[in-house]
C-alpha cells in the first residue's frame, strides 16, 4: 500500500508514526487523549507477561464480540480485506494480530493518544502494519477507501459517537463492514456515579485517579475473596436485576466498578479501573439507542452481540 495515496491531506512522520492530527482543541476529547496516553505508556512498562495475558484475553473476547467462530474464521475474513483500519488501536496489539493473520492486507492502527508511538516501535518489523496519530472522528481518509474497520471499545470515548460512526461509515467501502462496540447502560445507581465521574475527573489529579483505581481494585479483590452469593430481588425502578449472584458482581454491575481479575493480575486490574473512571468521555447506551445510532449512520446490522458490559457487532454499509 502506498500510504501517500490514502489520506486527503499532507501528513508528517514522527518516530515512524504518520501524524494526521496531534491534538484536540475540545476539552473533553483532549482530557480523554491525555488519560489514555498516560494509561498506555504506564501499562506498556508493566511486566510483559501481564500485558500478554491481557492481549490474549482480549483477542478471545474479540471473536465473541464480533461473531467469529475462531481465529481461523477471522483470518479467512481478513484475508478478503485489502485495507484494514483498527480505529482507536491503543497499544496496537489487535492491529498487529490482524496484520499477522492476513499478511496480504495493509493494516492501519489509528489512535489519538501517544500509545501509537509505543505501538510503532514495538511492531516496527511488521511490514504490512502502519500507525497513525489522529482523530477517528475526522480521519482524513478518502471516501469509500477501507475494506474493514474495527472500532473495538473506542467510539464511546470520542466527543460525539454518532458523528464518529458517520465518519467511519463515510470511509468504509460499500458492501463492507465496520465492527463497533459500545458500553451498555447499567443499573441506575452505577449510571449516576459514572455520570458524576465524567464531570468530576478533569478536576482530579491523575495521582488521585490512580490511587482511587488501586483502592477500587482492592475492594474488588476483598469482595471476590469473600466468595459469597446473595439472593437479589428485582428492583425495576433502579434497573437492578434480581437473581442469585456473587456479591462482588452485584456491587460491580449495580453500584461501583471495582474490577478485579486474579488471572489478569493486579496492574491490569488497576489499569482497567483507571480506564473506566478517568476519561471525561465514556458514553453508555441501551440496545435501542445503539440501534438508533447505527440507523442514523445508514449502517445495517450483519451480526449483533449483547452482554452485560456492552453491545457490539458488525455493521454493513449498503
Among the candidate windows 12-20, 27-35, 189-197, 263-271, which touches ligand SAM by CB under 6 A? Answer: 27-35
The only residue of 20, 89, 118, 219 in contact with ligand SAM, by rule CB under 6 A: 89
As measured in angstroms, the least distance from the Cβ of 275 to ligand SAM is 6
Q: Is 317 helix (H, G, I), strand (E, B) or coil?
A: strand
Among the candidate windows 11-19, 99-107, 134-142, 231-239, which touches ligand SAM by CB under 6 A? Answer: 134-142
Q: How far apart are CA 277 and CA 198, in angstroms?
A: 7
Q: Is 32 in the site for ligand SAM (CB under 6 A)?
A: yes
Q: Is 131 in the site for ligand SAM (CB under 6 A)?
A: no
As measured in angstroms, the least distance from the Cβ of 237 to ligand SAM is 31
Query: 130-160: b or e for each residue (b if 16 or more CB lie within 10 Å)?
Result: bbbbbbbbebbbeeebbbbbbbbbbbbbbbe
As measured in angstroms, the least distance from the Cβ of 204 to ligand SAM is 19
Q: How far apart are CA 94 and CA 181, in angstroms?
A: 14
Q: Is 275 in the site for ligand SAM (CB under 6 A)?
A: yes
Q: How far apart are CA 39 and CA 274, in angstroms?
A: 8
As measured in angstroms, the least distance from the Cβ of 39 to ligand SAM is 8
Q: Is 154 in the site for ligand SAM (CB under 6 A)?
A: yes
Q: Is 96 in the site for ligand SAM (CB under 6 A)?
A: no
As measured in angstroms, the least distance from the Cβ of 230 to ligand SAM is 31
CB 81 within 8 A of CB 103: no
Here's the x/- map for ligand SAM, 215-254, by CB under 6 A: it reads as: ----------------------------------------
As measured in angstroms, the least distance from the Cβ of 221 to ligand SAM is 22
Q: How far apart are CA 200 and CA 305, in angstroms?
A: 32
Beta strands 310-317; 299-307: pairing state:
antiparallel
The only residue of 38, 111, 177, 194 in contact with ligand SAM, by rule CB under 6 A: 111
Q: Is 187 helix (H, G, I), strand (E, B) or coil?
A: coil
- Say how far residue 234 (Cα) sits from the centre of its chain: 31
The only residue of 6, 90, 190, 269 in contact with ligand SAM, by rule CB under 6 A: 90
DSSP at 185 = P
Residue with Cβ nearer ligand SAM (145 or 280): 280
Q: Is 88 in the site for ligand SAM (CB under 6 A)?
A: yes
Residue that the C-alpha cell 477471522 belongs to: 74
Inter-CA distances, 149 with 15, 55, 94, 197, Å: 24, 19, 12, 30
Residue that the C-alpha cell 458517520 belongs to: 166
As measured in angstroms, the least distance from the Cβ of 304 to ligand SAM is 19
Q: Which residues contact 76 (CB under 8 A, 6 or more apart)?
A: none
* Site residues, ligand SAM (CB under 6 A): 29, 32-33, 36, 58, 88-90, 94, 110-113, 115, 135-137, 152-154, 157-158, 275
Amino acid at each position: 500500500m502506498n500510504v501517500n495515496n490514502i489520506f486527503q491531506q499532507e501528513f508528517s512522520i514522527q518516530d515512524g508514526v504518520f501524524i494526521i492530527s496531534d491534538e484536540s482543541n475540545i476539552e473533553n476529547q483532549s482530557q480523554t487523549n491525555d488519560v489514555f496516553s498516560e494509561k498506555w505508556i504506564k501499562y506498556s512498562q508493566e511486566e510483559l507477561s501481564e500485558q500478554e495475558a491481557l492481549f490474549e484475553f482480549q483477542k478471545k473476547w474479540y471473536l465473541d464480540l464480533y461473531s467469529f467462530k475462531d481465529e481461523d474464521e477471522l483470518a479467512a475474513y481478513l484475508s478478503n480485506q485489502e485495507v484494514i483500519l483498527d480505529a482507536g488501536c491503543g497499544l496496537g496489539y489487535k492491529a498487529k494480530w490482524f496484520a499477522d493473520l492476513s499478511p496480504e492486507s495493509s493494516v492501519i492502527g489509528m489512535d489519538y493518544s501517544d500509545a501509537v508511538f509505543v505501538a510503532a516501535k514495538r511492531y516496527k518489523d511488521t511490514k504490512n502494519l502502519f500507525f497513525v496519530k489522529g482523530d477517528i472522528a475526522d480521519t482524513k481518509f478518502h471516501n469509500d477507501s477501507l475494506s474493514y474497520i474495527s472500532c473495538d471499545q473506542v467510539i464511546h470515548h470520542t466527543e460525539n459517537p454518532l458523528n464518529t460512526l458517520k465518519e467511519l461509515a463515510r470511509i468504509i467501502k460499500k458492501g463492507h463492514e465496520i465492527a463497533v462496540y459500545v458500553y451498555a447502560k447499567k443499573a441506575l445507581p452505577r449510571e449516576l456515579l459514572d455520570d458524576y465521574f465524567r464531570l468530576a475527573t478533569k478536576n482530579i489529579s491523575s495521582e488521585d485517579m490512580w490511587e482511587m483505581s488501586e483502592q477500587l481494585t482492592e475492594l474488588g479483590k476483598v469482595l471476590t475473596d469473600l466468595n459469597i452469593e446473595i439472593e437479589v430481588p428485582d428492583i425495576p425502578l433502579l434497573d437492578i436485576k434480581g437473581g442469585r449472584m456473587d456479591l462482588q458482581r452485584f456491587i460491580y454491575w449495580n453500584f461501583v466498578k471495582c474490577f478485579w481479575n486474579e488471572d489478569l493480575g493486579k496492574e491490569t486490574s488497576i489499569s482497567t479501573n483507571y480506564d473506566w473512571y478517568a476519561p471525561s468521555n465514556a458514553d453508555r447506551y441501551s440496545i435501542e439507542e445503539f440501534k438508533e445510532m447505527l440507523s442514523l449512520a445508514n449502517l445495517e446490522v450483519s451480526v449483533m452481540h449483547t452482554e452485560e458490559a456492552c453491545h457490539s457487532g458488525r455493521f454493513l454499509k449498503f
